[in-house]
Chains A and B, each alone.
Chain A
Amino acid sequence: MTWTKKVLRVNLTEGSVNEEPLNMDWAAEYIGQRGLATRYLVAETDPACDPLGPDNKLIFATGPLTGTAVSTAARYSVITKSPLTGAIACSNSGGFLGAELKSAGWDMIIFEGKSPSPVMLNIINENAELVPADDLWGKSVWETDRLIHEKSGDPQTRVAAVGRSAEAGCLYSAIINDLHRAAGRSGVGTVMASKNLKAVAVRGTRGVGNIKDPARFMKSVAEEKQVLAENAVTGQGLPALGTQVLMNVINEIGALPTNNMQLSQFEGAHNISGEAMLEPRKSDGKPNLTTNAACFGCTIACGRISTVDRTHFSIENKPEYWGNSGGLEYEAAWAMGADTGVDDLDAVTYVNFICNEDGMDPISFGATVAAAMEMYEKGAITKEQTDGVELKFGSAEALVWCVERVATGEGFGADLGLGSKRLCQKYGHPELSMTVKGQEFPAYDPRGIQGMGLTYATSNRGACHLRSYTVASEVLGIPEKTDPAVTEGKAGLVKAFQDATAAVDSMGLCVFTTFAWTLDNMAPQMDAACEGDWTVDRLVEAGERIWNLERDYNIKAGLTGADDNLPERLLKEASKAAPTEGQVCNLDQMLPEYYQLRGWTADGQVTDELRQKFSLPG
């Protein structure tokens, strides 16, 4: 089975904690994690609810394969309504907490209501209790983690927590687990803090059992791990350079958004790249990258563990930051580097540490700072707001100043915590917000990679690369190379990626396996582990069902087809980078075909026929 078939329901208003059975009819249709938790959210909340009010719910959900021996089966997701976008939020994290939760005997935790005072949830196997957390409120994620471990006395207790940014109302706050893994996007941490829920601590020792066909399962797992090991990307490239290997690739093709997406190439890209992280520093001869790291059960190990140069201005008087911590991933390095014009690797690494320490999404943070820098250079934001700091593109000092303020919500940090859309509206330049549905873009310029334009426009959680990573095909040639400059065929490509990714996200696996695996590699593992017959076709069908359910939620939340759009800059201001010079994103050539392939109406609504086909709730 692998589902534990148990849900932990936590009513924060009443302070109650109850066990209930998992709805297995829904699991058969929505698999687990992203899909299944969305089904619960749809059933139990009004999509029009205030995301930061007690009527919104916050769901921590594992997949059926989470915690099993399948490679990368570490994942859990947090599903809720986003305060940043007003749309569905689903943020996926690795590390160890997801597998620990499963091992404690729970598929899912549903938090509802709002606690009258700060609390945390303690789970030790089947025992779960809410305990006061007044002493943790006002503390960073790292300090909270330390204090919880001090109390539990068990180093294997896994902790997910929100930092001071979430308490201060930053709209893109993350939930950080295991110190530097994040359910990062769409402000899921902000929702958690709005419920006065500071942390979740989990210890599970039961293991994940009840595999349907253990012998077939172990054979399949071993075969597929071999596929990952022998693949050049998952076996060599990702462990050696991590996702940061992309910095030079994307810059070279002229699709690295720079200075709030005004440009598509960054002169300083190499200085903040994966290759640069391997170069010895002048001061101590050590590279930025100390080692790679793996999440639970992962045989890829793309994680980065880094240090900042102790003589760097950001930490020279702060020995607490002299040690190793979570290093830069590509999207974070881009947002806080190229998009702000900062090519100081130590500064960007330090800022990344702070995003982990106080729980901010580094993509939204960096992109919001970039928008603020453009408004500063236009005179819309002045030194009056920035306490005299020159908020100019390329200023590492300004970037560091910004992160320290957003971490606590102090001064201008509260404005930066609004996110790019609201910040640009507040200072009179809504056109400078590089967002879709209010969420900031990741690191690929859709003027140079057309499919990513459609990906961003139609992503159910706002601009996001992880909903359909067409970069794999358009740039990297996985599974086959397509031309990034053309729009033909991209609607079908995006839909196929979206549906497959929804299935991967719902099983409990990492999307990075898809650089080597297809659903053909996953279905046999799923089928050997889980009750029911799990074929590739069934997984794709479930993925499409999940996508439509999320879309339907968004429509009921008040979004429309008009929200499937991109900022005018990307549609009208042509790229100036040589390889993509003159290109804009031709979204209008892709979107109607995409709606047609989805079977939606011309204005992007899910039809009754589709509702019936996928048994979607009314």
Chain B
Amino acid sequence: MQVTFKLFATLMPYLPAGAEKNAVEIEVKPETTINQLIDQYRVPRAQVHLVLLNGLFLNESDRDQPMQEGDTLAIWPPVAGG
């Protein structure tokens, strides 16, 4: 199934080739969890802070849920501004 994977800020170097505007469409096996996807692209878990699934915040304890077709996963390290 296809999902959109986005990495921002200092996580940009972990984006796979072909990414544009911090996003890439990728094929994943059904039942792939969020944590599995994070590990697949070697994003250090310690730097995974803000995780949004379809724009909604996910707690660390919710990241073992499987992704669904068409989901958008966006990840940031600790960031702030304003």
* A561 contacts partner chain B, Cβ-Cβ < 8 Å: no
- Interface code B19-41, partner A: CB below 8 Å = 1, 0 otherwise? 00110000000000000000000
Binds B, one of A10-18, A433-441, A468-476, A532-540: A468-476
The answer to whether B77 and A249 touch across the interface, beta carbons within 8 angstroms, is no
* A331 contacts partner chain B, Cβ-Cβ < 8 Å: yes
Query: Which of these, A232, A245, A253, A481, contacts B81 with CB under 8 Å?
Result: A245
The answer to whether B9 and A275 touch across the interface, beta carbons within 8 angstroms, is yes
The distance from the CB of B69 to the nearest CB of chain A, in whole angstroms, is: 16
The answer to whether A515 and B80 touch across the interface, beta carbons within 8 angstroms, is yes
Instruction: Find chain A residues with CB under 8 A from B57 CB.
Output: 253, 475, 481, 483-484
The answer to whether B22 and A275 touch across the interface, beta carbons within 8 angstroms, is yes
With A241-B79, A476-B79 known to touch, is A252 a contact of B9 (CB < 8 Å)? no
The answer to whether B78 and A232 touch across the interface, beta carbons within 8 angstroms, is yes
The answer to whether B10 and A330 touch across the interface, beta carbons within 8 angstroms, is no
Instruction: Find chain B residues with CB under 8 A from A254 CB.
Output: 55
* A241 and B12 alpha carbons, distance in the complex (Å): 12
Instruction: Find chain B residues with CB under 8 A from A92 CB.
Output: none
Query: Which of these, B47, B74, B82, contacts A243 with CB under 8 Å?
Result: B82
* A478 and B80 alpha carbons, distance in the complex (Å): 9
- Interface code B38-80, partner A: CB below 8 Å = 1, 0 otherwise? 0000000001011010111101000000000000001011111
The answer to whether B82 and A238 touch across the interface, beta carbons within 8 angstroms, is no
The answer to whether B55 and A578 touch across the interface, beta carbons within 8 angstroms, is yes
The distance from the CB of B25 to the nearest CB of chain A, in whole angstroms, is: 15
Instruction: Find chain A residues with CB under 8 A from B12 CB.
Output: 275
Instruction: Find chain B residues with CB under 8 A from A484 CB.
Output: 57
With A240-B10, A275-B9, A579-B56 known to touch, is A249 a contact of B49 (CB < 8 Å)? no
The distance from the CB of A245 to the nearest CB of chain B, in whole angstroms, is: 5
Instruction: Find chain A residues with CB under 8 A from B8 CB.
Output: 245, 248-249, 275
The answer to whether B54 and A579 touch across the interface, beta carbons within 8 angstroms, is yes
The answer to whether B9 and A245 touch across the interface, beta carbons within 8 angstroms, is yes
Instruction: Find chain A residues with CB under 8 A from B76 CB.
Output: 245, 249
Tell me the interface secondary structure of chain B in the complex. Answer: loop
* A242 contacts partner chain B, Cβ-Cβ < 8 Å: yes
Within 8 A of B (CB), among A241-259: 241-246, 248-249, 252-254
* A405 contacts partner chain B, Cβ-Cβ < 8 Å: no
* A330 and B50 alpha carbons, distance in the complex (Å): 18
Within 8 A of B (CB), among A307-342: 329-331
Q: Of all chain B residues, which has the CB nearest A472?
A: B80
The distance from the CB of A280 to the nearest CB of chain B, in whole angstroms, is: 13
With A249-B8, A275-B22, A477-B50 known to touch, is A244 a contact of B55 (CB < 8 Å)? no
Q: Of all chain A residues, which has the CB nearest B12?
A: A275
* A413 contacts partner chain B, Cβ-Cβ < 8 Å: no
Q: Of all chain A residues, which has the CB nearest B81?
A: A243
Instruction: Find chain B residues with CB under 8 A from A121 CB.
Output: none
The answer to whether B78 and A233 touch across the interface, beta carbons within 8 angstroms, is yes
With A270-B21, A275-B22, A477-B49 known to touch, is A233 a contact of B54 (CB < 8 Å)? no
With A245-B9, A275-B22 known to touch, is A476 a contact of B77 (CB < 8 Å)? no
* A407 contacts partner chain B, Cβ-Cβ < 8 Å: no
* A242 and B81 alpha carbons, distance in the complex (Å): 7
The distance from the CB of B8 to the nearest CB of chain A, in whole angstroms, is: 5
The answer to whether A232 and B22 touch across the interface, beta carbons within 8 angstroms, is no
- Interface code A494-527, partner B: CB below 8 Å = 1, 0 otherwise? 0000000000000000001001000000000000
Instruction: Find chain B residues with CB under 8 A from A330 CB.
Output: 81-82
The answer to whether A469 and B9 touch across the interface, beta carbons within 8 angstroms, is no
Instruction: Find chain B residues with CB under 8 A from A354 CB.
Output: none
The answer to whether A578 and B79 touch across the interface, beta carbons within 8 angstroms, is no
Instruction: Find chain A residues with CB under 8 A from B56 CB.
Output: 253, 579
* A132 contacts partner chain B, Cβ-Cβ < 8 Å: no
* A18 and B17 alpha carbons, distance in the complex (Å): 66
Instruction: Find chain A residues with CB under 8 A from B54 CB.
Output: 578-579
Instruction: Find chain A residues with CB under 8 A from B50 CB.
Output: 249, 475-477
Instruction: Find chain B residues with CB under 8 A from A270 CB.
Output: 21-22
With A232-B77, A249-B76 known to touch, is A241 a contact of B9 (CB < 8 Å)? yes
The distance from the CB of B39 to the nearest CB of chain A, in whole angstroms, is: 20
The distance from the CB of B73 to the nearest CB of chain A, in whole angstroms, is: 10
* A236 contacts partner chain B, Cβ-Cβ < 8 Å: yes
The distance from the CB of B44 to the nearest CB of chain A, in whole angstroms, is: 11
The distance from the CB of A578 to the nearest CB of chain B, in whole angstroms, is: 6
* A275 and B56 alpha carbons, distance in the complex (Å): 21
Closest 10 CB pairs of A and B: A579-B55, A243-B81, A232-B78, A270-B21, A246-B81, A515-B80, A237-B79, A245-B79, A233-B80, A233-B78
- 26 A-B pairs whose Cβ atoms sit less than 8 Å apart in the complex: A233-B78, A237-B79, A238-B81, A241-B10, A243-B81, A244-B81, A245-B80, A246-B79, A249-B8, A249-B50, A249-B76, A249-B79, A252-B55, A252-B74, A254-B55, A275-B9, A330-B82, A466-B82, A469-B82, A471-B82, A477-B78, A478-B80, A515-B80, A579-B52, A579-B54, A580-B55
Extra 20 A-B pairs, beta carbons < 8 Å, given A236-B10, A330-B82, A580-B55: A231-B78, A232-B49, A232-B78, A237-B9, A237-B78, A237-B79, A238-B80, A241-B10, A243-B81, A245-B9, A246-B82, A248-B74, A252-B55, A253-B55, A271-B21, A329-B81, A330-B81, A478-B80, A578-B54, A579-B55
Give residues in B with beta carbon < 8 Å to A: 6, 8-10, 12, 21-22, 47, 49-50, 52, 54-57, 59, 74, 76-82
